[in-house]
Amino acid sequence: MKVFKEQIQSFLKRDCLIEVVPSIDSTNRVVKELAEQGEPEGRVLFAEEQTAGRGRMGRSFFSPPGSGLYFSVLLRPKGMDPLKITVAAGVAVARAAQEVLGLELQIKWVNDLYRQDKKVCGILAEGSFAGGGLAYCVLGIGINVFAPAEGFGALQSIAGALRDTAPDDKVRGRLAAAVLNHFFEIYEDIENSAVLQEYRRRSYLQGKTVTAVRGNERIRGKVLGIGSGAELLLQGEGGETLAFTSGEVQLEDYR
């Protein structure tokens, strides 16, 4: 555990208070607790395994020991649009995978990362709002670095990994640090339009027919692109243009 932490720290370009634990229910849950206790921005908690990893829309996130990176970052973004944090995190993971492993990942709106048509990373940004703005945000990132020995079980047809074989632990440390380095670089210059351009360039959904799910609504349409506020633009079945700032998108053959 200590080795992993030291590896991450040796590649980090900025000061972050990092903690690594062997097993925990959910790093997002624990960091949320730290946020409520007034801990400052920049606390990062890694777990080698999560027993109740959380996903979006109340789903769970499969987090078996040793094969992935599961971590949460405490942010105090002072009124920032939460969608921008999500975009920043997606682009940061894609840049890190490119830098460390030479991979070209795609981003499925709003923040899943894909390699060869399989999901390899999920991002869950949980915000707490006060006085009309975002008081804090817990940014949780789960990356399947390599496929677990026992496989992905029921998720086998949709889940993938960055690598087919286990890289040495140094690679995980480098990757973790690279995600944090890229994330904070983007976060500190969040209005930089190059990030949205890269998010669009990496879009997994462009031109595909999808069903957007927002509350009880299900709307089928063709993806036109990503708008200036990172909203998803769909052409509905009647030809109308629809914009989504929240919810999620299902592909025809994807749950």
Of residues 118 and 222, the one with the C-beta less far from ligand BTN: 118
Our measurement of the distance from residue 122's CA atom to the centroid of its chain's CA atoms, rounded to an integer in Å, reads 4
Comparing CB distances to ligand BTN, the nearer of 63 and 181 is 63
Nearest distance from C-beta of residue 142 to ligand BTN, angstroms = 3
Taking the least distance from each CB to ligand BTN, the nearer of 54 and 84 is 54
Q: Kindly write down the DSSP assignment for every residue of the chain, as one continuous string.
A: -HHHHHHHHHH-SS--EEEEES-BS-HHHHHHHHHHTTPPTTEEEEES-BSS-B-GGG-B----TTTEEEEEEEE--TT--HHHHHHHHHHHHHHHHHHHH----EEETTTEEEETTEEEEEEEEEEEEETTEEEEEEEEEEEE-B--TT--GGGTTTB--SBSSPPPHHHHHHHHHHHHHHHHHHHTTTT-HHHHHHHHHTBS-TT-EEEEEETTEEEEEEEEEE-TTS-EEEEETTS-EEEESSSEEEETT--
Q: How far is the CB of 222 from ligand BTN (least distance, A)?
A: 24
Q: Which residue is nearest to ligand BTN (CB)?
A: 122
Considering the complex, what minimum distance in angstroms separates the CB of residue 212 from ligand BTN?
A: 16
CA 127/CA 132 separation, integer angstroms: 12
Residue 33 structure tokens: 């607790």
Q: How far is the CB of 224 from ligand BTN (least distance, A)?
A: 24
Amino acid letter, 132: G
Please, what is the minimum distance in Å from the beta carbon of residue 175 to ligand BTN? 14
The footprint of ligand BTN (CB under 6 A) covers 26-28, 50, 53-56, 59, 61, 63, 70-72, 112, 122-124, 140-142
> Rounded to the nearest whole angstrom, what is the least distance from the CB of residue 114 to ligand BTN in the complex?
12
Residue 49 is encoded by which pair of tokens? Answer: 């395994």
Which lies closer to ligand BTN via its Cβ, residue 17 or residue 207? 17
Q: Which is nearer to ligand BTN, 27 or 67 (CB)?
A: 27
State both tokens at 149: 């020995």
- Which CB atom, from 63 or from 106, has the smaller least distance to ligand BTN? 63
* Between 79 and 215, CB nearer to ligand BTN: 215
Least distance to ligand BTN from the beta carbon of 26, Å?
A: 3
